[in-house]
A and B are shown apart, each in its own frame.
Chain A
């Protein structure tokens, strides 16, 4: 029973490029959360999705960031025209029920913008 799979583990992008981060939830989990972690800080909520629906995007920057969780395939966090300040670790968590006690986090994608 594989855990939450995130790829790539490390991603390097030049300023202005696009970054695509993928998250495959655990089998049977239909709730996906994305969090961002800056160095030496706690995780900050970005967005909560269920299949084909964005439920809560209150933590997403208004511009350049988008997320989707299609009917088939992984959830995608997309950052357009990356800037140095986007460098961070991005974690995905999945849950069977939408309750935080049931979260399982992936190992994250570390984005570096050069």
Chain B
């Protein structure tokens, strides 16, 4: 089935550093989403991307929908301790798939920030 490969699996960085993570797939996706999950909670939407090439920012977060529709990246600038959590990419499958709104999730990137 369709899969998303998310990397890196984990990151341990110093406060103030920039962070970058990405997701790739062999299949086309219509929508790319980035979520953050904290322990014991459900994922919270950070950024939604709907068009190939789209670049969207949300505060210190920036994400892009790859031009091939097979990848996306998320950047976090000037990290702070509260950025700690697990970040997931998710995509809505494209051509050949019925548009039911279901999402395919990446495996997650665990971010730890050292003050």
Q: Which positions in A face B, CB cutoff 8 Å?
A: 4, 31, 33, 35, 40-45, 48, 55-56, 58-59, 91, 93, 95, 98-101, 103-108
Write the chain A residue with the least CB distance to B48. A101
Label chain B's interface by main secondary structure.
loop
Q: Is the CB of A105 within 8 A of B104?
A: no
> How many contacting A-B pairs (Cβ < 8 A)?
70
Q: Is the CB of A56 within 8 A of B98?
A: yes
How long is the Cα–Cα vector from A104 to B31 in the complex, in angstroms? 16
Residues of B within 8 A of A (CB-CB), count: 25
Residue of B nearest to A108 (CB): B42
- Are A106 and B42 in touch, CB under 8 angstroms? yes
Determine whether B44 belongs to the interface, using a CB cutoff of 8 Å to chain A.
Answer: yes
Residues of B within 8 A of A42 (CB): 4, 6, 88, 90, 105-108
A95 with B101: CB separation less than 8 A:
yes
Residues of B within 8 A of A (CB): 4, 6, 31, 33, 40-45, 48, 50, 88, 90, 92, 98, 100-108
A98 CA to B108 CA in the complex, in Å?
24
B-side contacts of A99, CB under 8 Å: 31, 101
Given contacts A44-B105, A58-B102, A99-B31, 13 further A-B contacts (CB under 8 A): A33-B101, A40-B108, A42-B88, A48-B102, A55-B100, A56-B100, A98-B100, A100-B48, A101-B33, A101-B45, A105-B43, A105-B44, A107-B42
